[in-house]
């Protein structure tokens, strides 16, 4: 019996690239303040404040914006959290 082939970092990275990714999209509303949205983005997806501010302005000006692109299970988790805050949130394949 041959010994198992060692898994190398490149193999793992190649497999991870093949996993489908999903966009987490927040939608504008007339109920939540900029401060609330910024805070929830920072808390939920651990983005720097400057990125959260940029995304929040994009949501405000364009009606929606991608917050993060992640694997489906994590996208669904983030969507549940944002919806729990009362925000409009959807996911879609990248």
* pLDDT tens track for 82-93: 999 999 999 999
pLDDT > 80? residue 24: yes
Query: Cβ distance 45 to 24 under 8 Å?
Result: yes
Whole-structure pTM value? 0.83
Beta bridge partners of 68: 24
The secondary structure of the chain in percent helix, strand, coil, rounded to multiples of 5, reads 50, 20, 25
Q: What is the pLDDT of residue 1?
A: 60
Q: What is the rounded CA–CA span in Å between residue 75 and residue 45? A: 10
Q: What is the rounded CA–CA span in Å between residue 91 and residue 80? A: 10
Domains identified in the chain and CATH numbers:
18-93 (3.30.1390.10)
Band of the pLDDT at 13, cuts 50, 70, 90? confident
Per-residue pLDDT, averaged over 63-68, amounts to 98
């Amino acid at each position: 019996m041959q010994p198992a082939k060692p898994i190398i970092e490149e193999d793992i990275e190649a497999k991870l690239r093949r996993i489908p990714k999903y966009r987490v999209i927040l939608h504008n509303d007339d109920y939540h303040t900029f401060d609330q949205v910024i805070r929830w983005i920072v808390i939920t997806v651990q983005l720097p404040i400057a990125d959260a501010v940029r995304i929040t302005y994009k949501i405000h000006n364009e009606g929606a914006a991608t917050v993060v692109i992640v694997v489906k299970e994590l996208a669904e988790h983030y969507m549940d959290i944002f919806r729990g805050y009362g925000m409009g949130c959807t996911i879609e394949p990248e």
